[in-house]
């Protein structure tokens, strides 16, 4: 076993602590190099209870966790306030555009993972693969024509050609040196200033504009989008629960539903369920948390 | 042409799926006359044996029967091994392949009876195993089979980072299998209580051949096949779910064509056979119930 660290980044807010935990635990279970794992957690302020849950990853597997509270970063607040708000995922989606600013400068390779993933293969297979000189590697998004073309695929923004390959940004292998030279923040500032950000699908579209035809295509099994039971037989390396049906719902019908509960651990699975019910009830009665 | 050796192990109640599995193999290769099916059976009736022999009539393939109940080599080796629901002679047949099959057989391909082969079998017969004793396909459900609750069960036996194979299809190098001393290993695992903690022989084989097996393409053992898998043109499908292709109504992949591979006459006869068994079982239960 080599001792080179395996850097992995996740971005999430307090309401996603449990899926983040499950994503990390899946990574840990599937590799022998548990002690080489360094999880860079870019998150908003977390409750003490949820922080303690995440720390269990270190207790159980010896992996390292590094926390970056983006609520303490004026840069993030500034960017997030000006970019278009993502109703479903909140402004946390923009955190990954700031990796060059947030994360240590000595990281050479970084694996970015969404929090709605179940990783089943040794992550070093991905982290240490030959990137053939490309700045990033990702999996092609099957819904690209609709995401970029919109209704009737009439190319509503005029920014994308549907014939160009387009990647899903849920799993990205990043050569950090090349990423830094791309000046992602500069691209974002320009896109906000000229109105591009109002026309596109958040950060995924922006990354596709920046890295257009300049990314390495990974095998689809590294990011099995909209994972359903029929995919199980293919022994996918990473499942991506992009659909509205999520594996943390009590009944979901997605791939590996039952195993996912055990990866999240039953205690957190059911606590997360109560957490969501409570939030929904509070929202229903119109209660707003104190800032 | 050299012979292609194939192994099945089944009891009388599985004669029809065994027939369908063999017929699938025959239909998918030009080398029908090179096929040698080694059939380890328990309690096979004359009628069912005659069904199986149709494989020879139709395709010219050779059948070699091993009656486990009367096979002296087999019974001697099994004498000291436990026999219960978890560990039984049907399971030992596969483990004792090197004892049962003639030494001249250098490679044999084992299949469960709930499989349907759709590609030329010579691809497996001739595949380079790169010096490994067996070739197999990774089991997608290994996480749950071995780790169970909160993925914390049996961590001392199975590290989830180690690949785990499905044992429903094995390409076996018989000499290397013999070298692995499978039976001694089994006796040791029975003695130290490991066998009480694990999932039958599949877990056992994974312990025996841990990190010592060659990975075959998933399409050579497609687990729990469903209709969308048909488009992938799988080489072999493995009906592991409760949903079986020999059920009257089944939503598995290739359900309809499977009936024709089994042939309609046998398909419906097998259905009556199962129905009859269930009725008999039910009546016995009934009698038991009235006695108390």
Q: Which fold has domain A6-264?
A: Spore Coat Polysaccharide Biosynthesis Protein SpsA; Chain A (3.90.550)
DSSP-derived secondary structure letter, B226: B
Judge whether residue A167 has pLDDT over 80.
Answer: yes
Strands (E), B90-193: 107-111, 115-117, 134-138, 165-173
- Identify residues of B whose CB sits under 8 angstroms from chain A CBs: 138, 140-141, 143-144, 147-151, 159-162, 218, 222-226, 228-229
If DSSP codes are grouped into helix, strand and coil, which group holds residue B163?
coil
Judge whether residue A184 has pLDDT over 90.
Answer: yes
For residue B92, the model assigns a pLDDT of: 86
CA quadruple B113, B117, B121, B123: dihedral, nearest 10: -120
Indicate the helix (H) or strand (E) that contains A81.
helix A74-82
Selecting from B138, B144, B229 the residue whose C-beta is nearest the C-beta of A259 gives B144
| Furthest C-alpha separation in chain B | 64
Quick: pLDDT tens for A11-36: 999 999 999 999 999 999 999 999 99
Indicate the helix (H) or strand (E) that contains A217.
strand A215-217
Judge whether residue B288 has pLDDT over 70.
Answer: no
Q: Which domains does chain B have, with CATH numbers?
A: 4-291 (3.90.550.10)
Q: Where are the domains of chain A?
A: 6-264
B151 and A262 within 8 Å at the Cβ level: the answer is yes
B146's CB contacts (< 8 A; 6+ apart) are: B153, B154, B157, B158, B160, B164, B198, B199, B203, B206
The mean pLDDT of chain A is: 93
What pTM, to 2 d.p., does this model score?
A: 0.91
Is the sign of the CA dihedral A194, A199, A202, A203 positive or negative? negative
Cβ atoms of B133 and B209 within 8 Å: the answer is yes
Strand partners, B172: B108, B134
Whether the CB of A104 is below 8 Å from some CB of chain B: the reply is no
Quick: pLDDT tens for B255-281: 999 999 999 999 999 999 999 999 988
Judge whether residue B143 has pLDDT over 90.
Answer: no
DSSP-derived secondary structure letter, B194: G
For residue B195, the model assigns a pLDDT of: 85
CA A99 vs CA A76, A107, B50: distances in Å: 11, 10, 70
For residue A291, the model assigns a pLDDT of: 52
Whether the CB of A3 is below 8 Å from some CB of chain B: the reply is no
For residue A119, the model assigns a pLDDT of: 98
- Mean pLDDT across the stretch A241-260? 95
For residue B292, the model assigns a pLDDT of: 41
Which residues in chain A are contacts of B161 at CB distance < 8 A? 29-32, 122
- Mean pLDDT across the stretch A193-197? 88
For residue A269, the model assigns a pLDDT of: 98
A50's CB contacts (< 8 A; 6+ apart) are: A14, A17
B143 and A234 within 8 Å at the Cβ level: the answer is no
First to last CA, chain B: 64
For residue A156, the model assigns a pLDDT of: 66
Q: What is the Rg, in whole angstroms, of the alpha carbon atoms belonging to chain B? A: 19
Residue B291 binned pLDDT confidence (cut-offs 50, 70, 90): very low
- Mean pLDDT across the stretch A229-255? 95
For residue B284, the model assigns a pLDDT of: 74
Cβ atoms of A254 and A241 within 8 Å: the answer is yes
CA A287 to chain centre: 29
- Distance (Å, whole) CA A170 – CA B254: 34
Range 246-275 of A in CB contact (< 8 A) with B:
256, 258-259, 262-263, 265-267
A37's CB contacts (< 8 A; 6+ apart) are: A5, A6, A8, A27, A28, A31, A61, A63, A64, A123
Quick: pLDDT tens for A97-152: 999 999 999 999 999 999 999 999 999 999 999 999 999 999 999 998 888 888 88
- Mean pLDDT across the stretch A270-283? 95
Compute the nearest-CA separation of A25 from chain B (Å): 10
Quick: pLDDT tens for A34-83: 999 999 999 999 999 999 999 999 999 999 999 999 999 999 888 888 87
Whether the CB of A43 is below 8 Å from some CB of chain B: the reply is no
With both helix axes pointing from N to C terminus, report the angle between A266-285 and A17-29 in degrees, rounded to the nearest 10: 160
Whether the CB of A221 is below 8 Å from some CB of chain B: the reply is no
The ipTM assigned to this model is 0.88
Tell me which of B164 and A196 has the higher pLDDT.
B164
Among the listed residues A255, A192, A259, A194, the one whose alpha carbon sits nearest the alpha carbon of residue A225: A255
Q: What percent of chain B has pLDDT over 70?
A: 96
Which residues in chain B are contacts of A256 at CB distance < 8 A? 143
For residue A289, the model assigns a pLDDT of: 66
For residue B287, the model assigns a pLDDT of: 62
For residue B86, the model assigns a pLDDT of: 66
* Residue B199 φ/ψ region, left for φ over 0, alpha for ψ in the -120 to 50 degree band, beta for the rest: beta
Which residues in chain B are contacts of A233 at CB distance < 8 A? 140, 218, 222-226, 229
Judge whether residue B129 has pLDDT over 60.
Answer: yes
Selecting from A229, A256, A265 the residue whose C-beta is nearest the C-beta of B150 gives A265
- Distance (Å, whole) CA B171 – CA B169: 7
For residue B286, the model assigns a pLDDT of: 57
Residue B181 binned pLDDT confidence (cut-offs 50, 70, 90): very high
Helix H, strand E, coil C: the string for B233-266 is CCCEEECCCCCCCCCCCCCECCHHHHHHHHCHHH
- Mean pLDDT across the stretch B15-35? 98
């Amino acid at each position: 076993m080599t001792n080179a660290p395996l850097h992995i980044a996740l971005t999430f807010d307090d309401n996603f602590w449990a899926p983040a935990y499950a994503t990390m635990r899946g990574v840990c279970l599937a590799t022998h190099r548990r002690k080489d794992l360094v999880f860079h957690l870019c998150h908003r302020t977390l409750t003490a209870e949820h922080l303690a849950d995440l720390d269990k990853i270190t207790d159980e597997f010896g992996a390292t966790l590094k926390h970056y509270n983006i609520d303490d970063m004026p840069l993030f607040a500034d960017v997030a306030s000006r970019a278009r708000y993502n109703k479903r995922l909140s402004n946390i989606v923009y955190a990954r555009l700031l990796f060059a600013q947030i994360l240590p400068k000595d990281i050479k390779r970084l694996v970015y993972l969404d929090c709605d993933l179940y990783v089943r293969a040794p992550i070093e297979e991905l982290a240490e693969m030959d990137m053939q000189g490309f700045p990033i590697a990702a999996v092609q998004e099957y819904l690209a024509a609709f995401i970029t073309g919109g209704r009737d695929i009439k190319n509503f923004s005029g920014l994308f050609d549907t014939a160009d390959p387009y990647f899903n940004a849920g799993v990205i292998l990043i050569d950090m040196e090349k990423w830094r030279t791309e000046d992602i923040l500069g691209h974002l500032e320009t896109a906000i200033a000229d109105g591009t950000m109002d026309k596109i699908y958040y950060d995924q579209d922006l990354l596709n504009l920046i890295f257009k035809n300049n990314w390495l295509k990974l095998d689809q099994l590294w990011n099995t989008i909209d994972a359903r039971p029929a995919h199980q037989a293919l022994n996918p390396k990473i499942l991506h629960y992009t659909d509205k049906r999520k594996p943390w719902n009590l009944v979901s019908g997605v791939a590996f539903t039952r195993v996912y509960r055990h990866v999240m651990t039953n205690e957190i699975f059911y606590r997360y369920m109560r957490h969501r019910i409570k939030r929904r009830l509070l929202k229903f009665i119109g209660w707003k948390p104190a800032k | 042409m050299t012979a292609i050796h194939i192994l099945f192990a089944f009891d009388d109640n599985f004669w029809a799926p065994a027939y369908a599995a063999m017929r699938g193999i025959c239909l998918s290769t030009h080398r029908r006359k090179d096929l040698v099916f080694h059939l380890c059976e328990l309690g096979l009736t004359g009628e069912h044996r005659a069904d199986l022999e149709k494989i020879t009539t139709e395709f010219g393939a050779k059948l070699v029967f091993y009656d486990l109940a009367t096979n002296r080599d087999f019974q001697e080796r099994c004498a000291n091994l436990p026999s219960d629901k978890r560990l039984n002679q049907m399971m030992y047949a596969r483990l004792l392949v090197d004892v049962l099959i003639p030494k001249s057989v250098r490679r044999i391909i084992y299949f469960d009876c709930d499989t349907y082969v759709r590609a030329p079998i010579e691809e497996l017969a001739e595949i380079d195993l790169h010096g490994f004793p067996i070739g197999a396909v990774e089991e997608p459900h290994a996480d749950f089979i071995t780790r169970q609750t909160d993925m914390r069960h049996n961590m001392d036996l199975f590290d989830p980072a180690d690949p785990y194979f499905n044992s429903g299809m094995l390409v076996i190098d018989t000499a290397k299998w013999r070298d692995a001393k499978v039976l001694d290993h089994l006796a040791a695992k029975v003695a130290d209580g490991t066998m009480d903690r694990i999932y039958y022989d599949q877990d056992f084989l994974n312990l025996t051949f841990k990190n010592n097996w060659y990975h075959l393409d998933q399409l050579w053992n497609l687990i729990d096949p469903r209709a969308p898998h048909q488009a992938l043109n799988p080489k072999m499908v493995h009906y592991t779910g409760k949903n079986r292709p020999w059920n009257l109504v089944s939503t598995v992949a290739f359900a309809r064509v499977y009936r024709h591979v089994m042939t309609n006459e046998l398909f419906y006869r097998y259905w009556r056979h199962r129905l009859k068994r269930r009725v008999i079982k039910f009546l016995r239960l009934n009698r038991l119930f009235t006695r108390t």
